[in-house]
């Protein structure tokens, strides 16, 4: 059963999700085609409760993930890990049986690969002690860490830096957070959600590679998504 929770939002904040955040950052040009049309179609800021999830009516957190993934698809190439992550998220977006747990595992394993590589080795710590330290500190960040992530940390074999490493982390984190819904803390204080924030970071990474027509594509897709 859905229960609607209405909220009034300042005029300057009526752009939904990543579009509004990118405008606030000055990343999305104000003269992007159809941006004015999108503004005119923005829904009133209201939230609905469905089971244990809180989401925005008219602009689901899934939409922000959709935009980030579509932006990733505009890159000329993706690493193997990035392709796997994007494909997994696309399956989740289309309702192809991907669970919140799978999204969490994808995020944790991506972060574990980075963690193993960037935490420096020291001569006075033997490999088994280092593995214990890595696991302990990682689990402080992720109390519900997945067995797959722990196996990566305990392998002691740093992976070669993935060109898309940070992009994968932000995409998978965005999808995981979107799957769990809004936190009431963010919703009631008009704050950006963690899912949206991660999607914005992913899009900024993508934008640094200057894929063609990125901004116009995101606005056009937003017009298809907004209700």
What is the pLDDT tens value at each position of the chain, 227 positions in all? 344 443 333 444 567 799 999 999 999 999 999 999 998 888 777 888 877 788 888 899 999 999 999 999 999 999 999 999 999 999 999 999 999 999 999 999 999 988 888 776 655 566 677 788 888 888 898 888 889 999 988 887 766 667 799 999 999 999 999 999 888 877 777 788 999 999 999 999 999 999 999 999 999 999 999 98
Residue 95 corresponds to which tokens in the numbers above? 């309702």
**From CA 32, how far away is CA 84, in angstroms rounded?**
31
**From CA 171, how far away is CA 90, in angstroms rounded?**
11
pLDDT of residue 163: 76
At residue 198, φ and ψ (nearest 5 deg) are -65, -40
User: What is the DSSP code string of 145-207?
Assistant: --HHHHHHHHH--PPPPPTTHHHHHHHHHHHHHHHH---HHHHHTTPPPHHHHHHHHHHHHHH
pLDDT of residue 118: 77
**From CA 74, how far away is CA 28, in angstroms rounded?**
16
Helix/strand number for the chain, H first, E second: 11, 3
| Separation in Å, CA 13 to CA 16, 17, 100, 130, 190 | 8, 9, 29, 46, 9
The reported pTM is 0.86
**From CA 110, how far away is CA 173, in angstroms rounded?**
10
* Number of folded domains that form the chain: 1
Percent of the chain that is helix, strand, coil (3-state, to 5): 60, 5, 35
pLDDT of residue 116: 82
pLDDT of residue 130: 77
Domain that holds residue 79: 2-225
| Beta carbons of 107 and 125 less than 8 angstroms apart | no
**From CA 163, how far away is CA 213, in angstroms rounded?**
22
């Amino acid at each position: 059963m859905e229960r609607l929770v209405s909220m009034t939002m300042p005029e300057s904040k009526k752009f939904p999700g990543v579009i509004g955040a990118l405008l606030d950052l000055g990343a999305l040009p104000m003269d992007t085609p159809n941006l004015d049309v999108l503004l005119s179609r923005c829904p009133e800021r209201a939230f609905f409760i469905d089971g244990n999830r809180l989401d925005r009516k008219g602009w689901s957190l899934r939409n922000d993930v959709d935009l980030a993934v579509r932006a990733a698809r505009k890159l000329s190439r993706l690493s193997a890990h990035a392709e796997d992550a994007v494909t997994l998220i696309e399956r989740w977006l289309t309702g192809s049986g991907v669970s919140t747990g799978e999204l969490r595992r994808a995020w944790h394993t991506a972060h574990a690969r980075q963690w193993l590589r960037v935490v420096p080795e020291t001569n006075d710590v033997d490999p088994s002690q280092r593995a214990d330290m890595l696991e302990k500190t990682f689990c402080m960040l992720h109390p519900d860490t997945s067995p797959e992530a722990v196996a990566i940390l305990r392998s002691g074999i740093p992976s070669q830096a993935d060109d898309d490493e940070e992009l994968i982390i932000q995409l998978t984190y965005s999808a995981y957070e979107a799957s769990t819904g809004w936190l009431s803390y963010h919703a009631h204080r008009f704050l950006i959600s963690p899912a949206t924030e991660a999607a914005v970071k992913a899009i900024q990474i993508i934008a640094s590679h200057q894929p063609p027509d990125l901004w116009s594509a995101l606005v056009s897709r937003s017009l298809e998504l907004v209700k």
